[in-house]
Amino acid sequence: MRRFFGFFVSKPFTILFMILAELGLLYYVVYTFSVRFVTLYNFLVVLSVIIVVYLINRNDNPSYKLSWAVFILALPLFGGLTYLLFGGRKIPKALRAGMIRNNAKGEPILKQDEAVLEEVVAGDPAFERQIHYILRNTGMPVYADTETTYFPIGEEKFKAMKEELLKATKFIFIEYFIINTGFMWDSIEEILKEKVKEGVDVRVIYDDGGSIRLPRKFLYRLRISGIKAYRFNPMSATLAIQMNNRDHRKICVIDGKVGFVGGINLADEYINKKLRFGHWKDCAVMLKGEAVFSLTVMFLQFYHYLSKTTEDYQLYRADFSSDPIVSKGYVQPFTDSPTDDELVSETTHLNMINAARSYIYIMTPYLVIGHEMTQALIRAAKSGVDVKIMVPHIPDKWYVFAVTQSSYEEFTKNGVKIYEYKPGFLHSKVMVSDDKAAIIGTSNLDFRSYYLHFECGILFTDHPVLREVKRDFVDTLQNCIEVTYEDCLKVNFFVKLGRAILKLFSALL
Q: Report pLDDT for 95.
A: 61
Cα torsion 215, 217, 220, 221: sign: negative
Given a contact cutoff of 8 angstroms between Cβ atoms, the answer to whether 185 and 267 are in contact is: yes
Q: Report pLDDT for 85.
A: 74
Q: Report pLDDT for 473.
A: 98
3-class DSSP state of 457? strand
Classify each residue of 332-365 as buried b or exposed e, where b means 16 or more C-beta atoms within 10 Å of its C-beta. Answer: bbbbbbbbeeebbbbbbbbbbbebbeebbbbbbb
Domain map of the chain by residue range? 2-87, 93-135+143-328, 344-508
Helices 183-197 and 154-166: crossing angle in degrees, nearest 10, is 10
Given a contact cutoff of 8 angstroms between Cβ atoms, the answer to whether 292 and 257 are in contact is: yes
Q: What is the pLDDT along the chain (509 residues), one digit of tens a residue?
A: 555 555 455 566 666 667 677 777 777 777 787 777 778 888 888 888 888 888 888 777 777 788 888 888 888 888 887 887 776 655 655 666 666 555 666 557 888 989 998 888 877 777 888 999 999 999 999 999 899 999 999 999 999 999 999 999 999 999 999 999 999 999 999 999 999 999 999 999 999 999 988 998 999 999 999 999 999 988 766 655 566 789 999 999 999 999 999 999 999 999 999 998 999 999 999 999 999 999 999 999 999 999 999 899 999 999 888 888 888 999 999 999 988 778 999 999 999 999 999 999 999 999 999 889 999 999 999 999 999 999 999 999 999 999 999 999 999 999 999 999 999 999 999 999 999 999 999 999 998 899 889 999 999 999 999 999 999 999 999 999 999 999 999 999 999 899 888 888 877 77
To the nearest 5 percent, what fractions of the chain are helix, strand and coil? 50, 20, 30
Q: Report pLDDT for 249.
A: 97
Q: Can 93-135+143-328 and 344-508 be said to share one CATH topology?
A: yes
Selection from 461, 469, 439, 434 nearest residue 359 by Cα: 434
Q: Are strands 201-207 and 171-176 parallel, antiparallel or unpaired?
A: parallel
| CATH architecture observed for domain 93-135+143-328 | 2-Layer Sandwich (3.30)
What's the rounded Cα separation, in Å, for the pair 88 and 244? 11
What's the rounded Cα separation, in Å, for the pair 508 and 499? 14
Residue 104: C-alpha distances to residues 3, 108, 247, 340, 349 (Å):
47, 8, 19, 11, 25
The secondary structure of 306-347 as a DSSP string is HHT----GGGG----SSS----SSEEEEEEE-TTTT--HHHH
- Residues belonging to the chain: 509
What's the rounded Cα separation, in Å, for the pair 207 and 463? 32
Given a contact cutoff of 8 angstroms between Cβ atoms, the answer to whether 213 and 287 are in contact is: no
Given a contact cutoff of 8 angstroms between Cβ atoms, the answer to whether 361 and 467 are in contact is: no
Q: Are strands 424-426 and 417-421 parallel, antiparallel or unpaired?
A: unpaired
As a CATH number, domain 344-508 is 3.30.870.10
Q: Report pLDDT for 35.
A: 72
What's the rounded Cα separation, in Å, for the pair 5 and 13? 11
Cα torsion 362, 364, 367, 369: sign: negative
3-class DSSP state of 247? strand
Q: pTM, whole model, 2 decimals?
A: 0.90
Run of H or E including 177: none
Q: Report pLDDT for 91.
A: 60
